[in-house]
């Protein structure tokens, strides 16, 4: 998968490129809109990450040009402007998604995956998960480790399901708040709610067993994976 | 081209209106005077015609003559000025007096001239003299005669010119006087305004507590002074808020920045294992999260202050909102073995922005759970208040069994960044903005919030909102 990253802030560009490459993408980074536009004409990309505050020509103008030329490549805007009006302008200009700086890298990666998945034929959502000796059957709402059935509340179950869908990848508290708790406002004090809920889930799925699966990544969030 | 200042403009207006008034007056006076003089001449002519009729006679030879000896004062102006001719109705001249000489008084008469009463006409003689003439039919010895008599209007014209001349001569003098008076009157009228401007100018950002004197609150100047004072009060208020906010915000922003810096520096100075490095970076990210949250909250609040946040008003049940809030924080209460009790006899529907109000309730509820001891109970009651402004009001009480809030802190806990206990500042996510946001959200939706000490211990947060009432659904209990 090839990603074009148009961003003039070198620190952000470097960090995001590193994370994308680590995730297995091939990344071309450029600092000006003109160069990005030129590259888009001459090479094939699967996705464009576009900063809005660019020197000379704004990201919105670049985006309008991209769409005017009929390029269908998905575009994800990265910007520090977060008002509703700015979002509307960005999406109307032809963007597919919108992320406000500062963003959490895991969330950016999740959105990139979602955009790349889009358009492809979606398989039926997974109903059965298996990680080490943890087995989850979503349709039966049953989770077990080995032979032992785990008694989970509804919230704990949907939390576990979400972590399993992102197995091996770190999910941030913002992602959990939005996707599991469906909390749209960013000012609701939900972080300790999430922490407590994760701790309870861990108590049930990890504490009684020697092989730990649910890990806290300090400063970012949580990950469900088997430690080698 | 407009004159620069109000004073000149006002004076100009004043002088123009005065001048127009004067000219209208002069015209009216002249017309009236002219009309009066003309009617005087007319009356004199009528009298004279009547006299002359009595003096006319036919001589034995058939010529018409006039008995001139009748007059006591042959030098009388009337007599000297009189121009007279007598004609037969078909226009044959029978008599012309000396004054008239060879001229004629209007030539051939028209049919019926002077038959009914005295026919009046203004005309110009062959030598250019303007006269006012009257004609009258009179019978002498059975013969109808047309008597025409006229006076020159030269003197009348002269008097008119004199009058208009005098009035026009006086006009510039009157206008100059008006200009002078107007200029001084406006200066006096505008002097308090200039004074007000000077005083306002002296009030600067550092002296915003000063106010303008209001001498008479009911007149226009008093009104301006009051408006300016109101403006100053608001300005002072926002300056004060800004000052407090800047100092609080800088404290709140510096703390995580300082932590970031020292943790980073510590990490670079020593040799650590990769696990320790991960921990150091994680700790720095935690501070970044805190900073991010705070900046976002601050931006939201400043947008709210600037009126840029638009409320999405809808009608919804308060009970549902409370249940959602409880569902969210339930796990926290459960962890501390706390109970959340709901007591509501009826439900209410409010018209408000659901998201903001929900956030307000969650923030207050979250606080209650956070500051209540292990094993305590948080009580939520929903009740009806007496009507106000013709609308029903509801009261949502959230009561905890925490340490309570000191009286001097109660008003301030809704201020931004205010913390009852400075030591508590390390709570995740809390930056002393939760209650400030709650207060803003409730007020923006037409309600209000305040805090009271609870009966036993702890505090009660009271949220009042205008609402609609839903029919009694029995005792709702969670």
Q: Assess whether A66 and A169 both reside in one domain.
A: no
Radius of gyration of chain A (CA): 20
Q: Assess whether A107 and A181 both reside in one domain.
A: no
Per-residue pLDDT, B308: 78
Q: Three-state secondary structure along chain B?
A: CCCCCHHHHHHHHHHHHHHHHHHHHHHHHHHHHHHHHHHHHHHHHHHHHHHHHHHEEECCCCCEEECHHHCCCCCCHHHHHCEEEEECCCCCEEEECCCCCCCCCCCCCCCCCCCCCCEEEEEECCCCCEEEEEEEEEEECCEEEEEEEEEECHHHHHHHHHHHHHHHHHHHHHHHHHHHHHHHHHHHHHHHHHHHHHHHHHCCHHHCCCCCCCCCCCCHHHHHHHHHHHHHHHHHHHHHHHHHHHHHHHHHHHHHHHHHHHHHHHHHHCCCCHHHHHHHHHHHHHHHHHHHHHHHHHHHHHHHHCCCCCCCEEEEEHHHHHHHHHHHHHHHHHHCCCEEEEEECCCEEEEEEHHHHHHHHHHHHHHHHHHCCCCCEEEEEEEEEEEECCEEEEEEEEECCCCCCCHHHHCHHHCCCCCCCHHHHHCCCCCCCHHHHHHHHHHHCCCEEEEEECCCCCEEEEEEEECEECCCCCCEEC
- Residues B361 and B258: their CA atoms lie apart, in Å, by 33
Q: Assess whether B390 and B281 both reside in one domain.
A: no
What are the DSSP calls for A110-159, one per residue? HHHHHHHHTTSPPPPPP-EEEETTEEEETTTTEEEETTEEE---HHHHHH
Token pair, residue B185, equals 């009157």
Residue in B295, B336, B362, B432 to test binding to A, most A beta-carbons within 10 Å: B362
Contacts 24+ apart (CB under 8 A), B241-247: B244/B415, B245/B416, B245/B417
Q: Assess whether A138 and A99 both reside in one domain.
A: no
Average pLDDT over residues B113-140: 85
Does B228 fall in a domain?
yes
Per-residue pLDDT, B478: 45
Q: In this structure, are strands A75-79 and A97-100 parallel, antiparallel, or unpaired?
A: parallel
Determine contact: A114 vs chain B, CB below 8 A.
Answer: no
Segment (H or E) for A99:
strand A97-100
The enclosing domain of A91 has a CATH number of 3.40.50.2300
- Position B330 pLDDT exceeds 60: yes
Does B406 fall in a domain?
yes
Q: What is the pLDDT of residues B375-395, one digit of tens each?
A: 999 999 999 988 888 889 999
The enclosing domain of B75 has a CATH number of 3.30.450
The enclosing domain of B237 has a CATH number of 1.10.287.130
Does B190 fall in a domain?
no
Closest CB to A189: pick one of B292, B331, B430: B430
Average pLDDT over residues A31-45: 87
Q: Assess whether B45 and B134 both reside in one domain.
A: yes
Average pLDDT over residues B168-189: 89
> DSSP code of A41?
H
Instruction: List C-alpha distances in Å: B406 to B403, B414, B438, B458, B459.
Output: 9, 14, 20, 10, 10
Average pLDDT over residues B172-194: 89
Determine contact: A226 vs chain B, CB below 8 A.
Answer: no
- Residues B158 and B215: their CA atoms lie apart, in Å, by 59
Residue in B330, B331, B354, B440 to test binding to A, most A beta-carbons within 10 Å: B331
Does A99 fall in a domain?
yes
Does B205 fall in a domain?
no
B4-40 b/e with 16+ CB inside 10 Å = b? eeebeebbeebbeebbeebeeebeeeeeeebeebeee
Token pair, residue A179, equals 């996707």
Per-residue pLDDT, B472: 58
The enclosing domain of B438 has a CATH number of 3.30.565.10
The enclosing domain of A202 has a CATH number of 1.10.10.10
Q: Assess whether B12 and B126 both reside in one domain.
A: yes
Does A178 fall in a domain?
yes
Q: Which of B328, B331, B326 is nearest to B341 (CA)?
A: B326
> DSSP code of A57?
S
Q: What is the pLDDT of residues A134-153, one digit of tens each?
A: 999 988 899 999 889 999 99
> DSSP code of A93?
T
Average pLDDT over residues B13-31: 91
Per-residue pLDDT, B80: 67
Q: Assess whether B321 and B420 both reside in one domain.
A: yes
What count of other Cβ atoms lies within 10 Å of the Cβ of residue B103?
14
**Residue that terminates a domain, selected from A68, A95, A116:** A116
Determine contact: A192 vs chain B, CB below 8 A.
Answer: yes
Which residue in chain B has the smallest CA separation from A188?
Answer: B359
Average pLDDT over residues B26-34: 91
- Position A159 pLDDT exceeds 90: yes
Chain A residues within 8 A of B326 when measuring between CB atoms: none
Contact A37, A9 (CB under 8 A): no
Token pair, residue B286, equals 């935690």
Closest CB to A196: pick one of B285, B335, B437: B335
Q: Assess whether A91 and A145 both reside in one domain.
A: no
Q: Assess whether A93 and A155 both reside in one domain.
A: no
Average pLDDT over residues A5-12: 89
Per-residue pLDDT, A152: 92
Determine contact: B288 vs chain A, CB below 8 A.
Answer: yes
Q: Assess whether B268 and B317 both reside in one domain.
A: no
The answer to whether the CB atoms of B362 and A189 lie below 8 A apart is: yes
Segment (H or E) for A60:
helix A59-68
Around B187, how many Cα atoms within 13 Å sit in the side-chain half-sphere?
A: 6
Q: pLDDT tier at B426 (50, 70, 90 boundaries)?
A: very low
Q: pLDDT tier at B477 (50, 70, 90 boundaries)?
A: very low
> What are the respective helix, strand and coil percentages of chain A, to the nearest 5?
40, 20, 40
**Residue that terminates a domain, selected from B278, B305, B332:** B305
Q: Assess whether A57 and A84 both reside in one domain.
A: yes
Task: State percent of chain B over pLDDT 90.
Answer: 23
The answer to whether the CB atoms of B300 and A190 lie below 8 A apart is: no
User: What residues make up the domain containing A71?
Assistant: 2-116
Q: Assess whether B342 and B297 both reside in one domain.
A: no
Q: pLDDT tier at B295 (50, 70, 90 boundaries)?
A: confident
ipTM for the whole predicted complex goes beyond 0.85: no
User: What residues make up the domain containing B346?
Assistant: 313-477
> DSSP code of A179?
H
**Residue that terminates a domain, selected from A116, A141, A170:** A116
Determine contact: A24 vs chain B, CB below 8 A.
Answer: no
Q: What is the pLDDT of residues A165-193, one digit of tens each?
A: 988 889 988 889 888 988 877 677 788 89
**Residue that terminates a domain, selected from B109, B137, B157:** B157
The answer to whether the CB atoms of B331 and A184 lie below 8 A apart is: no
Contact A201, A191 (CB under 8 A): no
Q: Assess whether A9 and A90 both reside in one domain.
A: yes
Q: Chain B closest CA to A156's CA: distance in Å?
A: 11
- Position B476 pLDDT exceeds 70: no
Does B12 fall in a domain?
yes
Q: Assess whether B301 and B346 both reside in one domain.
A: no
Does A122 fall in a domain?
no
Does A8 fall in a domain?
yes
The answer to whether the CB atoms of B303 and A83 lie below 8 A apart is: yes
Chain A residues within 8 A of B296 when measuring between CB atoms: 82, 186-187
Q: Assess whether B278 and B326 both reside in one domain.
A: no
pTM: 0.63
- Position B166 pLDDT exceeds 50: yes
Does A123 fall in a domain?
no
Q: Assess whether A107 and A134 both reside in one domain.
A: no
Q: Assess whether A112 and A132 both reside in one domain.
A: no
User: Average per-residue pLDDT in chain B?
Assistant: 84
Q: Assess whether A16 and A109 both reside in one domain.
A: yes
Count structural domains, chain B.
3
Chain B residues within 8 A of A185 when measuring between CB atoms: 355, 358-359
Among the residue ranges A55-64, A69-78, B237-246, B467-476, the one predicted with the least confidence is B467-476
Token pair, residue B203, equals 């009030």
Q: Assess whether A139 and A58 both reside in one domain.
A: no
Q: Assess whether B342 and B467 both reside in one domain.
A: yes
Chain B residues within 8 A of A194 when measuring between CB atoms: none
Chain A residues within 8 A of B430 when measuring between CB atoms: 189
Q: pLDDT tier at B69 (50, 70, 90 boundaries)?
A: low
Contact B342, B322 (CB under 8 A): yes
Does A121 fall in a domain?
no
Does A186 fall in a domain?
yes
Determine contact: B335 vs chain A, CB below 8 A.
Answer: yes
Q: What is the pLDDT of residues B349-380, one digit of tens each?
A: 999 999 889 989 999 999 899 888 999 999 99
**Residue that terminates a domain, selected from B141, B157, B173:** B157
Does A79 fall in a domain?
yes
Closest CB to A191: pick one of B288, B362, B429: B429
Contact B297, A188 (CB under 8 A): no
Q: What is the pLDDT of residues B191-230, one digit of tens each?
A: 888 888 888 888 876 777 888 888 888 888 888 888 888 8
Among the residue ranges A2-16, A98-112, B94-108, B456-470, the one predicted with the least confidence is B94-108
Chain B residues within 8 A of A195 when measuring between CB atoms: 428
Average pLDDT over residues B414-437: 65
The answer to whether the CB atoms of B296 and A186 lie below 8 A apart is: yes
Q: Which of B136, B137, B151 is nearest to B79 (CA)?
A: B151
Q: Assess whether B318 and B380 both reside in one domain.
A: yes
Among the residue ranges A98-112, B159-173, B416-430, the one predicted with the least confidence is B416-430
Q: Assess whether B418 and B324 both reside in one domain.
A: yes
Closest CB to B363: pick one of A102, A189, A220: A189
Chain B residues within 8 A of A181 when measuring between CB atoms: 328
Determine contact: B278 vs chain A, CB below 8 A.
Answer: yes
The answer to whether the CB atoms of B332 and A189 lie below 8 A apart is: no
What count of other Cβ atoms lies within 10 Å of the Cβ of residue B452?
13
* Angle ∠(B431,B435,B440) on CA atoms, nearest 5: 115
Q: Assess whether A105 and A145 both reside in one domain.
A: no
Per-residue pLDDT, B455: 78
- Residues B450 and B466: their CA atoms lie apart, in Å, by 15
**Residue that terminates a domain, selected from A91, A116, A141:** A116
Per-residue pLDDT, A186: 66
Q: Assess whether B266 and B227 both reside in one domain.
A: yes
The answer to whether the CB atoms of B283 and A218 lie below 8 A apart is: yes
Count structural domains, chain A.
2
Task: State percent of chain A over pLDDT 70.
Answer: 96
Q: What are phi and psi of A152, to 5 degrees?
A: -115, 145
Contact B132, B165 (CB under 8 A): no
């Amino acid at each position: 998968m090839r990603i074009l990253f148009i961003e003039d802030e070198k620190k952000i560009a470097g960090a995001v490129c590193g994370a994308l490459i680590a995730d297995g993408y091939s990344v071309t980074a450029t600092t000006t809109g003109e160069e990005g536009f030129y590259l888009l004409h001459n090479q094939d990309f699967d996705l464009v990450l576009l900063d809005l505050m660019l020197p000379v020509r704004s990201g919105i103008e670049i985006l309008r040009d991209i769409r005017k030329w009929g390029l269908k490549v998905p575009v994800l805007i990265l910007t520090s402007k977060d008002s509703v009006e700015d979002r509307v302008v960005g999406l109307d200009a032809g963007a597919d998604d919108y992320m406000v700086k500062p963003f959490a890298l895991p969330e950016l990666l999740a959105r990139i995956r979602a955009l790349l998945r889009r358009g492809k034929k979606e398989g039926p959502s997974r109903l059965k998960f298996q990680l080490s000796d943890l087995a989850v059957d979503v349709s039966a709402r049953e989770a077990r480790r080995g032979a032992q059935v785990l008694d989970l509340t509804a919230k704990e179950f949907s939390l576990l399901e979400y972590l399993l869908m992102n197995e091996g990848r770190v999910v941030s508290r913002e992602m959990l708040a939005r996707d599991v708790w469906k909390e749209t406002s960013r000012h609701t004090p939900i972080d300790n709610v999430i922490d407590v809920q994760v701790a309870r889930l861990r108590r049930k799925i990890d504490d009684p067993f020697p092989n730990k699966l649910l890990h806290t990544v300090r400063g970012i969030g949580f990950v469900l994976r088997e430690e080698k | 081209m407009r004159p620069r200042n109000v004073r000149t403009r006002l004076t100009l207006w004043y002088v123009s209106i005065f001048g127009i008034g004067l000219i209208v007056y002069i015209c009216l006076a002249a017309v009236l005077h002219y009309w009066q003089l003309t009617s005087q001449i007319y009356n004199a002519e009528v009298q004279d015609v009547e006299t002359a009729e009595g003096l006319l006679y036919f001589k034995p030879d058939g010529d018409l003559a006039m008995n001139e000896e009748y007059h006591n004062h042959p030098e009388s102006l009337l007599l000297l000025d009189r121009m007279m001719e007598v004609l037969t109705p078909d226009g044959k001249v029978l008599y012309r007096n000396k004054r008239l000489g060879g001229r004629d008084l209007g030539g051939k008469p028209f049919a019926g001239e002077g038959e009914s009463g005295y026919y009046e006409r203004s005309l110009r003689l062959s030598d250019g003299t303007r006269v006012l003439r009257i004609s009258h039919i009179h019978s002498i010895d059975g013969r109808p005669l047309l008597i025409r008599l006229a006076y020159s209007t030269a003197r009348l014209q002269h008097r008119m010119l004199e009058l208009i001349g005098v009035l026009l001569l006086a006009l510039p003098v009157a206008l100059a006087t008006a200009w002078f008076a107007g200029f001084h009157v406006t200066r006096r009228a505008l002097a308090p305004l200039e004074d007000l401007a000077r005083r306002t100018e002296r009030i600067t950002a550092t002296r915003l507590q000063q106010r303008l004197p209001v001498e008479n609150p009911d007149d226009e100047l008093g009104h301006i002074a009051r408006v300016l004072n109101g403006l100053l009060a608001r300005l002072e208020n926002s300056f004060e808020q800004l000052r407090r906010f800047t100092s609080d915000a800088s404290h709140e922003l510096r703390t995580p920045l300082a932590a970031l810096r020292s943790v980073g520096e510590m990490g670079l100075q020593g040799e650590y294992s990769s696990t320790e490095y991960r921990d150091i970076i994680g700790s720095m990210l935690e501070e970044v999260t805190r900073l991010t949250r705070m900046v976002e909250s601050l931006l939201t609040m400043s947008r709210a202050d600037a009126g840029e946040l638009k409320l999405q008003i809808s009608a919804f049940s308060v009970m549902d909102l409370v249940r959602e809030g409880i569902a969210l924080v339930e796990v926290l209460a459960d962890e501390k073995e706390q109970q959340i009790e709901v007591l509501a006899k009826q439900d209410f529907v409010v018209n408000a922005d659901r998201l903001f109000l929900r956030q307000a309730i969650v923030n207050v509820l979250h606080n209650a759970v956070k500051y209540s001891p292990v094993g305590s109970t948080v009580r939520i009651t929903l009740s009806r208040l007496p009507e106000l402004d013709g609308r029903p009001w509801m009261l949502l009480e959230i009561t905890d069994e925490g340490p309570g809030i000191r009286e001097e802190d109660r008003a301030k806990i809704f201020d931004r960044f205010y913390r009852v206990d400075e030591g508590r500042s390390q709570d995740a996510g809390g930056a002393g903005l939760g209650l400030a946001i709650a207060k803003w959200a409730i007020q923006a939706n037409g309600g209000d919030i305040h805090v009271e000490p609870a009966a036993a211990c702890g505090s009660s947060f009271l949220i009042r909102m205008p609402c609609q009432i839903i029919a009694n659904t029995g005792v709702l209990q969670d």
